Structure 1
Amino acid sequence: MAFSRTTGKHRRPSRMTRRSANIAGVAALATTGVIGTLASPALAAEDRGAGPAHSVEDTGLTQAIVINDSLADQIGAQAQAQREAAEKAERKAEAERRAAAERKAEAERKAEAKAKKERAEREAKERAARAAERKRLTSYTLPVAGSAVTTGYKSGGSLWSSGSHSGVDFRAASGTSVVAVGAGTVVEAGWGGAYGNNIVIRMNDGTFTQYGHLSSITASVGQAVTPGQQIGISGSTGNSTGPHLHFEARTSAEYGSDMDPVAYLRGHGVNA
């Protein structure tokens, strides 16, 4: 036998139907982020038969869940806490980024300052070295270290063809090192007649110096020499009565252009 329900008449929904509708409504709200985890206790309570945690309004077509004020406050508080936590995390991350940027900038400033200091020190050393080299190249020294004049300039006697000494003699045992008194270029190196083995140097200031009676020569024509550089070994070659160094200062490379060697050396800061 078939049973039918009168048209337009509806029976009250069963407990199961109401429960299904509640669950569907809660799920819909959960997907929008309204309820979240706070709705779960309410559903659990209903499932245990404790009754719904919220009222259900029956519109005749659709069942809607009405959240009570307490649950809404809890959901709002949870959302606010999540926003505050996110903002705090963002502030912390931003602070860490700024701190890292400041550390990097400080490291770069220190590295730049160190490089600048090292560059300044290096340039200062280079300037000092150049100044020392310029001073060395413009300095003068004795032709024989620690020696003294034994025969003065313009001393008279039959030993000299001109009747007087055109230079000065420095005491120097045979084999003693003879050096250039200043910087210049060798213009003569070899036998010089009465001077024996001799060297003539054109000095950087335009004057000339001569070194005679050498036993051997260690410099060559065209060679640039510096103050104190060895150019020969003392001896007694040429017109000589014994080992010594004959030294002259001249205005040119030629014989007869001599000037006082002691005054010349003193004029360049050397006492002889």
Structure 2
Amino acid sequence: MAFGSTPAGSGKHRGGSRLSRKTAGYAGIAALATTGVVGAVAAPAFAADNTQHAIPDAGYNAVVVADDLAGEIQNQAASQQRAAEHAAAQAQAEAEAKQRAAEAKRLAEAKAKAERDAAERAAREEERKRLNTFVAPVDGSYVSTQYHAGGGMWSSGSHTGIDFHAAEGTSVHAVGAGTVVEAGWGGAYGNNVVIKHNDGTYTQYGHMLSLSVSVGDKVTAGQQIGRSGSTGNSSGPHLHFEARTGEQYGSDIDPLAYLRSHNVSL
């Protein structure tokens, strides 16, 4: 009996041991579950469950990271676009400023040129007027002896000029701008002056008391060249005035017509 009871006893012991281990395993799992470390010592079935839950978590994190990276790239692209637009706007502003400056410079240069041209035209006109302005040789006077008047007083038999009434010492003026080609004693003309004018004609002033110019002097219309008198072949104080086509005696032309052709009223 004792022999036959041994296997039974032994079988009960083994069966009890298996149940005890299984119960202990469950208890251990429960205990580990309460401590939060069940995943570390769980049975393969539980470990498999934890692995299946981790895969979706990793995919979600990857999506989040990808979304963040895409957002960062978009932000950088937007920032670069804004920088490019700012640089383009600044370049355009600088180009427009340069264009405005160039236009302002062009307008200023054009204005300066116009002013210079106007000044030059005014100067030329003034010079033209100066060169073409003629006056009477004696202010407020009149012709006392006409051109080509006859008589024995003149070696040619007629008067080669006109006489202006003028008391001794009266100021005598150049009738127009020109150069003095003779100044001094002129024989029958007494103290005389001959002027070559810019149009190529000549005028002569005779019988003067004194002279105030010399050969080579440049004179202007109305400039004093001497004072009237009665020197040379003269019957009394007056101014003998001649207009000529040449410097020498015998090239005389009508003095009144000459002065009137230069807008001198007598």
Same fold (TM over 0.5): yes
Match of 2:101 among 96, 101, 107: 107
Check conservation: 1:180, 1:227, Cα contact below 8 A: yes
Q: For residues 62-121 of structure 1, what are the alpha-carbon distances to aligned partners after superposition, in whole Å with 9 as ceiling and x for unaligned?
A: xx9972434432342233123212211221122112111111111111111111121122
RMSD, aligned CA: 2.8
Equivalent residue number for residue 5 of structure 2: none
Unaligned runs of 5+ residues in structure 1 are: 1-14, 16-54, 58-63
Please say if 1:234 is aligned against 2:228. Answer: yes
- Secondary structure in structure 2 of the residue aligned to 1:198: strand
Please say if 1:170 is aligned against 2:164. Answer: yes
Over the matched positions of the two proteins, sequence identity in percent amounts to: 57
The structural deviation recorded for 1:164 is 3.6
Paired residues, what number? 213
Whole-Å Cα distance in 2 between the matches of residues 106 and 251 of structure 1? Answer: 61
Matched to 1:166, the amino acid is T
Q: How does 1:189-268 map to 2 (within 5 A)?
A: 189-268=183-262
The structural deviation recorded for 1:177 is 2.8
Whole-Å Cα distance in 1 between the matches of residues 113 and 127 of structure 2? Answer: 21
Which structure: larger Rg?
2
Check conservation: 2:136, 2:264, Cα contact below 8 A: yes
Whole-Å Cα distance in 2 between the matches of residues 158 and 141 of structure 1? Answer: 31
Please say if 1:122 is aligned against 2:121. Answer: no
Equivalent residue number for residue 142 of structure 1: 136
Structure with a larger share of its residues in helix: 2
Q: How does 1:1-16 map to 2 (within 5 A)?
A: none
The structural deviation recorded for 1:170 is 1.6
Q: For residues 25-47 of structure 1, what are the alpha-carbon distances to aligned partners after superposition, in whole Å with 9 as ceiling and x for unaligned?
A: xxxxxxxxxxxxxxxxxxxxxxx
Whole-Å Cα distance in 2 between the matches of residues 254 and 200 of structure 1? Answer: 9
Q: 1:216 to 1:56 in 2, by over 3 A?
A: farther
Match of 1:81 among 75, 78, 87: 75
Whole-Å Cα distance in 2 between the matches of residues 252 and 69 of structure 1? Answer: 115
In the superposition, the TM-score normalised over structure 1's length comes to: 0.67
Unaligned runs of 5+ residues in structure 2 are: 1-36, 38-52
The structural deviation recorded for 1:241 is 4.0
In the superposition, the TM-score normalised over structure 2's length comes to: 0.68
Check conservation: 1:207, 1:250, Cα contact below 8 A: yes
Q: For residues 105-158 of structure 1, what are the alpha-carbon distances to aligned partners after superposition, in whole Å with 9 as ceiling and x for unaligned?
A: 111111111111211221232133123313421333222234322222233445
Whole-Å Cα distance in 1 between the matches of residues 238 and 141 of structure 2? Answer: 10
- Secondary structure in structure 1 of the residue aligned to 2:72: helix
The structural deviation recorded for 1:266 is 1.9
- Secondary structure in structure 2 of the residue aligned to 1:246: strand
- Secondary structure in structure 1 of the residue aligned to 2:70: helix
Whole-Å Cα distance in 2 between the matches of residues 185 and 206 of structure 1? Answer: 11
Q: For residues 231-269 of structure 1, what are the alpha-carbon distances to aligned partners after superposition, in whole Å with 9 as ceiling and x for unaligned?
A: 222233233344321101233333344332111222333
Match of 1:91 among 85, 94, 103: 85
- Secondary structure in structure 1 of the residue aligned to 2:77: helix
